[in-house]
Structures are given as C-alpha cells and as structure tokens.
Amino acid sequence: MKCPRDQTELIIEHHKGIEVDHCPTCNGRWLDHHELDHLEALAAPDDDARRAMVEYAKRPSDLHCPVCEKQMRAFNYRAYNLEIDTCEDEHGFWLDAGEEGRVHDIMEERVQGLARSESAEEAWGQFLGRVGNRGVWDNIKGMFGGRK
C-alpha cells in the first residue's frame, strides 16, 4: 500500500496496540476504519458516545485512498481544528504526522469535559434536593434570614 501524500510504500508498525500502516517519509499513518475507534478508546474506554464519528466541514480531499484509489473526503474531526481524511467506502483514515496524538488529546479533553458536566449535574441535583419544593424567591429569602 502506498502513502496518499507522497506515494512511498507504507510499512506496518504497532502503535498503541494496533497495527498501523506508517509512511517513513512523511510520518503519516493509515488507520483502517475500526482502528480509529480503537485509538479513541485508549483515551475514553468507557465512553460509548465516542463511537459516533462526528464530521464537520466536509469537503473533497486532495488525497486518494491507498486501498481503492478513490478521492477521499476531508473533515474537521469532532468540530476541532483537526482535519483528517477518510475513504467514503470506509476503508480507513489518513492521519498526517502528529495527528494521532491530537485525536488522543481531543478524546481525553472530551472525557474530562463530560466528567465536569456530570459532576455539575450531580451537584445541582443535590442542591435542588436540599432546597426541596420551595419557590426560588423563598430560597433566596431563606439565604438572607427572611424565611418564616
């Protein structure tokens, strides 16, 4: 299989537990369609929501799939400023040098954001449980000693 950037023969390497086709010239990587999911799972092992690939700003890519030679589609990965290329026939994803690290960082950031959100929701629920069914103004008055 040849690199879609520079046509160098891709070599197989093991990267974070998955078999990846790597270009020794440009340092890009070809991930089979399921391998990107595996890379995401390294950062978010319990996040089933991550499996829904979110593609933003889709456009025709300048690259061609190393498997079928069709023109690929470029998109912003999960609405971040990270453009990756994918084969529309789901053969895989092309990640330029360093982009696999960015995918991992994005997933870690997403997991931390979800944890913060979950913590805030739990705290809000506890607060509402403490104040009971009283109205907002009754609660505000209670904070200032105006409760009867």
Q: Residue 138: inside a domain, yes or no?
A: no
Tell me the pLDDT tens digit for each residue of 67-93. 999 999 999 887 778 899 999 999 999
Tell me the pLDDT tens digit for each residue of 103-123. 777 777 766 655 566 666 666
pLDDT at 5: 96
pLDDT at 102: 83
Q: Band of the pLDDT at 23, cuts 50, 70, 90?
A: very high
Q: Residue 143: inside a domain, yes or no?
A: no
Q: How many angstroms separate the CA atoms of 71 and 122, rounded?
A: 47
Q: How many angstroms separate the CA atoms of 118 and 27, rounded?
A: 38
Q: How many angstroms separate the CA atoms of 36 and 34, rounded?
A: 6
Q: Residue 108: inside a domain, yes or no?
A: yes
Give residue 95's domain range. Answer: 11-130
> In the chain, how many domains are there?
1
Averaged pLDDT of the chain: 79
Tell me the pLDDT tens digit for each residue of 44-75. 666 555 455 567 778 999 999 999 999 999 99
Q: Residue 25: inside a domain, yes or no?
A: yes
Tell me the pLDDT tens digit for each residue of 127-139. 666 656 556 666 6
Q: Residue 3: inside a domain, yes or no?
A: no
DSSP letter string, 31-48: EEHHHHHHHHHHH-TT-G
Q: Band of the pLDDT at 100, cuts 50, 70, 90?
A: confident
Q: Residue 146: inside a domain, yes or no?
A: no
